[in-house]
Every structure is written in C-alpha cells, then in structure tokens.
Amino acid sequence: MRNEIELAGIIEDYLNGKLNEEETKAFELLRLNDPAVDHKVVAHKVFMESLADYTEVSELKNKMNLVHNQIDVNGLSRKLGPHPSFIVNLWRKNKAAIAVAASFILLTVVTIYSIQQTTQQTGSYEKLNKEVNNLRSSTNSLIRNVKSNQPAKPSNVNPGKFGGTGFALSSNGYILTSHHVIEKSDSIYVQNYKGESYKVKMVYSDPVNDIAILKITDKGFSPLSALPYSLKKSVAGMGEQVYTLGYPKDDVVFGKGYLSSKTGFNGDTLAYQVAISVNPGNSGGPLLDNNGNVIGIINAKESNTDGAAFAVKSKYIAEALNAIPQDSLLRRVASGKNNQLQGLKLTKQIEKMQDFVFMIKVYN
C-alpha cells in the first residue's frame, strides 16, 4: 500500500514537471519497461485534466456570484414610470460590474461548449468482443469437434456467450486473442473459415496488455502449414497502410485503413490508433501492414468516432511468446523471417491468411 502511495506521488510530480532531469529520464524508462506503471500515468493524467476542468468551472461560478452581489438590483422592485431614467441610472451605476458579469457568462458558455466538444470527440473506450444471443442451427459445427468423438450439444441450447477473433502463433495450434474475449469462460472453441471447430484451453493470460494465448487440444487437429506472416517488433510509422481480418459475423471480414497515431486511447503507449472500420467480434484479430507483418492486435474502438480503432502493439505479442516453452512451439511466427506475404497482391495475402485466422466462441 505504501509503495502504491509513493508511486502516485511520483506520478503527480512527473506530470506537474517537479522531477529533475535525471529523475524524469529514470521515470520515463520505468514507464517504457513497465506497462502497469504507464497505465497508471495515463489514468492519472486524465483524472488531473478532469479535475482542472471542474475547478475552472467552479471558479467561474464563484466570480459570477461575487459580481452579482456587487450589482444594486433593489431598484428592480420599483414600479417603472413612463421614462426609462431608472434603467439608465442602473446602468450608469453598475455598468462595470455588469460588463464583467457578461464577460464571465460568455466565457462560461465558451468553456462549457469546449468541454462538450472535447467529450464528443473523445468518446469512450469500447472493447470489441461480441455477445452471442442466439446460435443458428446452421452453425452447430462450432460447438462440436467434427474430427473427434465429442457429442454435439442440442441445437435448442444457447451455449455461446461471447465471441471474437484469434490468429495462429504456431503451426501446432497456439492461437493469440484478446484477453477480454475469453475471460471468465468455462470452455472455449475456435473455428476456422471452413467451419471446422476445435476445443482449446488457455495457456497464457496477460490482462494488462489484453493478450491471451490458447492451445488447440483436440486430437483430430492437423498441424497448419508454415505461417506465412511475420511479427514486426519495431514501431510502425504513421500513415502506414494496414488491414485486418476478423469475425464480426459468421464469415471472415476484411477491413483496410491506415495507422493514424502511435498511441492509443487517451495517449496509451501500449497501443496504436488505426483509422479502420471494426465491429464487435473483431477483438483479437491481427493487424498487418502491406508487407505481411503483424504490427498489432485489434481490441477496441472509440465509441463516438467513426474509424478510430485501437490495436495492442506487436511488441507485446513477442513478450507473450517468450512465456511459452520454446520446444513446445512448432514453426512459430517469426520476426522478419520466412514472410511469404511480402510482395504479393493484397487479394493473395488475404487468401493465404484465411487459414490462420479463427473465430473464437466462449461458453459459460
């Protein structure tokens, strides 16, 4: 508890510019290496900005009340005669205070409008897992293992609760998705674009970076071919053309856009902002550049802004992979090596990618 309080104090001093140059550099290095600390900095910054807005509005109200008390309005109760001398005298007597009050009123209106506009532009952070209310009988293959002896569940049962997307990290069934897609699950299945369904288990979980790794456990699963894409560890550039494949519906959906910011929601350094159209169900889908490099994982969007999505940077995929025993990974996704997508037309890249992108269903 004491460490948390000390950290909060350091964060506030950092944001207020009270740390010296050496302390600032050390703290920025800590932010870079510790995502949890970086999250706390971003959250505290948003809190301080909100508090400053509230304080500014409160001060305006106090100043307006003070000006109001200086204005002589006793004469307003008098009955006005045929001549407007009362109004003229009232203006002459209080014109300075009235002018100040008018200025404060105008400033208040402008401030409130500005805050409203900022709120509209900022919107809210919306995760992209998909709630499944009904499961059509035509998709019953999703809830049974078509290559094993597991029995199918009755078609009149609604076993699915949430859904999302995942993509292969290795040819022997390791699959990456967003942590929020599979949290609080009893059982998880994945389905490829051919409709073949497999039972999986979670082998790695990172709620801070919103990453989870699943492993296909069905005996009937045949290893995939070598993964055609690679993992990009370096930072992608703004304006870079990107695309994603995901399952906002029962069929795989393609989306194309560009990298619009090197930081995510409210300046989150763990993510990119991408100008791309995504929907619930896209969480966990790969974000690739035109050379077939995975640069991130789609996991959220801004609710009030069209085409503002967020993707966890690929750097954290590499860190997650390091948590899996290397001898258990068969033909894993490589970093800049054996990239079969580079140089291909986009349609050909998508054709090759489909085998490695999965629909994910969570059952409670």
Q: What is the pLDDT of residues 321-362, one digit of tens each?
A: 888 888 788 778 877 667 899 999 999 999 999 999 999 998
CATH of domain 125-364: 2.40.10.120
| Residue 117 token pair | 């506009």
Place of tokens 């497999």: 198
Q: How far is CA 288 from the centre of its chain?
A: 17
pLDDT: which is higher, 262 or 85: 262
- Mean pLDDT in residue range 216-226: 92
Q: Say which residues have a Cβ less than 8 Å from residue 203's Cβ, sequence separation at least 6.
A: 174, 213, 214, 215, 324
User: Do the strands 309-313 and 271-275 form a parallel or antiparallel pair, or are they unpaired?
Assistant: antiparallel
Going 41 to 45 to 46 to 48, the CA torsion angle's sign is positive
Percent pLDDT > 70 in the chain is: 70
Place of tokens 């079969």: 340
pLDDT at res. 31: 78
139 pLDDT higher than 60: no
Q: Where are the domains of the chain?
A: 34-122, 125-364
pTM of the model: 0.61
d(CA 264, CA 288): 17
- Mean pLDDT in residue range 57-70: 70
Judge whether 159 and 197 are in contact, CB under 8 Å.
no
Q: Considering the chain, what is the average pLDDT of its residues? A: 77
